[in-house]
Chain A
Amino acid sequence: MQFTRILAAAAISAPLLAASAQAKDDLIIGVAQFPASMNPYYDSLTIKSYVLGFGNRSITGFDKDWKLSCLLCAELPTLDNGLAKFEDRPGGAKGMAVTLKLKPDLNWGDGVPVTAKDILFTWKMAKDPASGFANGHPWDRATSIDVVDDKTVVFHLEKVRVDYNQWDSLLPAHIEGPTFEKAGNFAEYQKQTTFTRAPTTPGLWNGPFMITNYQSGVQVVLEPNPHWKGTKPGLKRVVIKLIENTAALQANLLSGDVDMVAGEGVGLTIDQVIALRKANPDKFEYIFKPSLTYEHIDLKIENPIIADIRVRRALLIAIDRQTLVDRLFEGMQPVADTWVNRLDPYFAKDLKRFPYDPNLARAMLAEAGWRPGSDGICRNATGDKLSIEINTTAGNRLRELTEQVLQNMWKAACIEVTIRNEPARTLFGETLKKRLFTGMIMYAWSSGVGDSPRSTLASDRVPTAANNWGGNNGIAFADPRMDQLIDLAETELDTAKQIGIWAEMQKIYAEQVRVLPLFFRADPHVVPKWLDGYTPTGHSDLSTAFSENWRSK
């Protein structure tokens, strides 16, 4: 905070930079992280998706209104338009045939057309279990592909899936094909892929921009792709510059060395941007876009205190989340009731909510046998204290601050909460992964629009030694009905039924209180006044996926 104040003071006295208010062709974006690899299928990090959004588009993506749309395809396959159909699979099961037509004038940056060959190549690579490809919409959903013509393929899906028309980005067969052949295996391909060995190769890029200069750990320079036939990019050059220290990043913004700071979790934190806005209200555009990053507290059900649902509910209603959000984040981050964001079409509007009610919390605890002792902390009949431990990432100032506010709120409701924070590596690498936390653990994760909650709520995804700690269901949620609903949510194509399924899943989630939902993070974007057409999305298809619309006012 001290540095923020220093920066704010300096900024107030600094003369306004004329350059930052002038129309420009170049845009320099400051980021605090740097991508390890530009290959779209290795390392699923936000910063890489951010850079790839400029030059390597996915076939389909969600737009700023969270509606699925075509980025590389000509028309989104649906049952209504006939491009998606049910088909019988061998053995009698129902599958799907999905026809995908690429845009007719789509080219790689070297002028080679993007064709069915690229789809076939990407599919063959990605469906190999040895590939190590990590992407949101697995290619192995398709058991076979028919090539209709240069621009058209038919995916044959083994089963009916709700995500049948969501497909990720393509690898250029004419470049990565020979590279893979030369590498001979995936371990070697990962090292030899042109995306990392020579990312300035024009043929890697099919979006409006392509990388023309890449200095690992320093900056990425992007310039318009001459073979892009879509909306002509309004900028002649985009520089993505790494400045890891966020105080230095703010100083660079004020000095004019960078024009904007990317939101989407790769730039400044929300409190830093709020302070910057207070000091420089007219110098930049400030956008706080609620995102799908869900900040929450997992509860350890094996803890005998937490095993009692009355205690879990008391824990939730004893905290005033709206006041927390208002005071710490100026109300920018919407309070969460479940893992589903209010902007998501499947958000359950009539969900049972647990508003702040400290009196009811104390009454619930009393009903569960916990009564306040002389020190204000509840004890049970045997004299045990109502004491629970909470862990979060040490050094994450906002989380630590949130934790302290919550600790005071719980104390007012006679619940003692002790803080034991750990470095991120320990927290995620041991404590969460192996479920070693004893009471509560606060962290966040992101998902895509309408993503199935299988990974976090299905009973077969509880991390155990037997599955080599392979799941992400850290709360050990094991509810047969939830498992059924997850299966249905992944296969039911009727929208009305889907809404019902999602409503029931959220109802179970809310009523069982295995997690204390806190809020959805808002991505803080600092944008130059001269930039037009900038539209943050708030989901995993980032603002850069629409960067051709960015231009000088």
Chain B
Amino acid sequence: MGRYILRRLVQAMIVLLVMSFVIYSLIGLMPGDPIDIMIASNPNVAPEAAAALRKLYGLDQPLMMRYWRWLTAALGGDFGYSRTHSQPVLHMLLPALGQTSKLMISSFVISVILSFALGIMAARKPGGLADGIISLLAFAGISVPVFWLALMMILVFAVQLHWFPASGISNVGDGSLRDQFMHLVMPVTTLALATTGGFTRFVRASMIEVLRLDLVRTARAKGAGEGRVVLIHAFRNALIPVVTVMALSFGVLFNGALLTETMFAQPGMGKMIYDAILGNDFNLALSGLLFATLVTLASNLAADLAYGWLDPRITLQ
């Protein structure tokens, strides 16, 4: 097991290195730079001033030289300076990570709990009334765009009912736990609802397949209660493919986080990476994207380790 984890960590390092090069090159391929946009809207920026600004930001250097400088500094723990926020990258990344973690982990946990419950209920009688209603809701969750759902949440719960604040992370001068919680309710609910539909369908499909297996019939023949049959015998076996999907989806949650963060004005990782890419903020975009890659790799490693726990016949070498 130890050697397996070590090997996976080495693989992850190689993936990160390759990704850093690919991401840096791709961002570099984008036409123009921020100075061009600035000049286009304000022709009074003199060419000399524009050239000096490019030099200050290092935009006059060849792309590969900039990448090499970034890489050597990053290996020493210095991830550079964010041009769009005028701060060291880590100063930006860590608070945003905290905010996104709150959003992603809360919505992920809620989504997993809901999808387990709904998926099992639907799978017990495929084609029944409960399955029909749950499937309808799941498809609605899958189909509804996150930004639309977010906007509807704001219109109903902030504009109409005034139950929750429409945006931000806390009120100026407050910042109490309750205040922060109230600001988190709508983004977390939106993201959770957007992901629950897909998860529910996976749990349902996997459970239907397992409930038809001999092991379930055997458990029932041995006189096990329905609850034990479904939750202990069937559910554990149904989890293996579900865990794979959920692990892969954890990285994809960043996409949903970008939309919810934008709609609810939450300063998280998704929005920060998006802005950094558009603003040609190489250091911040690269560090953020590498972190997203790292999260995906880590969640996949966690899923692989979970297989061994779910099915003792699986050994990791």
Contact between B158 and A3, CB atoms less than 8 A apart: no
Contact between B32 and A433, CB atoms less than 8 A apart: yes
Closest to A242 in B: B265
Chain B residues with Cβ under 8 A from A429's Cβ? Answer: 30-33, 36-37
Closest to A431 in B: B31
Q: What's the least CB distance linking B260 to chain A, in Å?
A: 10
The answer to whether the Cβ of B264 comes within 8 Å of any Cβ in the partner chain is yes
Instruction: Report the bound CA distance from A429 to B52 in whole Å.
Output: 17
Per-residue contact bits, chain B 23-65, to A (CB 8 Å; 1 contact, 0 not) = 0000000111100111111111111111111011000000000
CB within 8 Å of B: which residues of A?
A: 3, 6-7, 10-11, 13-14, 26, 28, 36-37, 39, 42-46, 129-134, 136, 138, 186-187, 190-191, 193, 196-197, 213, 215-219, 221, 237, 239, 241-245, 247-248, 251-252, 254-257, 424-426, 428-430, 432-433, 443-448, 451, 455-456, 461, 467-468, 470-472
Instruction: Choose among A6, A37, A218, A472 the residue that contacts B86 (Cβ–Cβ < 8 A).
Output: A37
Per-residue contact bits, chain B 254-265, to A (CB 8 Å; 1 contact, 0 not) = 000000001111
Instruction: Report the bound CA distance from A51 to B297 in whole Å.
Output: 41
Instruction: Report the bound CA distance from A252 to B262 in whole Å.
Output: 13
Contact between A129 and B48, CB atoms less than 8 A apart: yes
Chain B residues with Cβ under 8 A from A242's Cβ? Answer: 265
Instruction: Choose among B43, B48, B172, B279 the residue that contacts A445 (Cβ–Cβ < 8 A).
Output: B43
Instruction: Report the bound CA distance from A215 to B169 in whole Å.
Output: 11
Chain B residues with Cβ under 8 A from A43's Cβ? Answer: 38
Residues in B152-167 with C-beta less than 8 Å from chain A: 154-155, 158-160, 162, 165-167
With A136-B44, A196-B86, A430-B31 already in contact, the answer to whether A218 and B168 are too (CB < 8 A) is: yes
Instruction: Choose among B36, B46, B81, B169 the residue that contacts A428 (Cβ–Cβ < 8 A).
Output: B36
Contact between A446 and B32, CB atoms less than 8 A apart: no
Contact between B56 and A132, CB atoms less than 8 A apart: yes
Chain A residues with Cβ under 8 A from B92's Cβ? Answer: 216
Instruction: Choose among A130, A217, A257, A448 the residue that contacts B158 (Cβ–Cβ < 8 A).
Output: A257
Contact between B52 and A131, CB atoms less than 8 A apart: yes
Contact between B56 and A190, CB atoms less than 8 A apart: yes
Q: What's the least CB distance linking A140 to chain B, in Å?
A: 10
Chain B residues with Cβ under 8 A from A221's Cβ? Answer: 172
Instruction: Choose among B36, B51, B150, B278 the residue that contacts A433 (Cβ–Cβ < 8 A).
Output: B36
Contact between B56 and A215, CB atoms less than 8 A apart: no
Chain B residues with Cβ under 8 A from A219's Cβ? Answer: 168, 172
Instruction: Report the bound CA distance from A20 to B40 in whole Å.
Output: 38
The answer to whether the Cβ of B251 comes within 8 Å of any Cβ in the partner chain is no
The answer to whether the Cβ of B275 comes within 8 Å of any Cβ in the partner chain is yes
Contact between A455 and B41, CB atoms less than 8 A apart: no
Closest to A193 in B: B86
The answer to whether the Cβ of B197 comes within 8 Å of any Cβ in the partner chain is no
Instruction: Report the bound CA distance from A50 to B23 in whole Å.
Output: 34
Per-residue contact bits, chain B 155-192, to A (CB 8 Å; 1 contact, 0 not) = 10011101001111100100000000000000000000
Instruction: Report the bound CA distance from A176 to B200 in whole Å.
Output: 58
Chain A residues with Cβ under 8 A from B40's Cβ? Answer: 428, 432-433, 443, 445, 472
Q: What's the least CB distance linking A394 to chain B, in Å?
A: 13
Per-residue contact bits, chain B 202-242, to A (CB 8 Å; 1 contact, 0 not) = 00000000000000000000000000000000000000000
Chain B residues with Cβ under 8 A from A45's Cβ? Answer: 38
Q: What's the least CB distance linking A258 to chain B, in Å?
A: 8
Q: What's the least CB distance linking A483 to chain B, in Å?
A: 16
Residues in B92-134 with C-beta less than 8 Å from chain A: 92
Closest to A133 in B: B49
Besides the contacts A10-B160, A248-B265, A428-B32, what 12 more A-B pairs have beta carbons closer than 8 Å? A6-B151, A37-B86, A42-B86, A130-B55, A193-B86, A213-B172, A217-B267, A218-B265, A257-B158, A433-B32, A445-B41, A451-B44
With A241-B168, A248-B265 already in contact, the answer to whether A471 and B47 are too (CB < 8 A) is: yes
The answer to whether the Cβ of B87 comes within 8 Å of any Cβ in the partner chain is yes
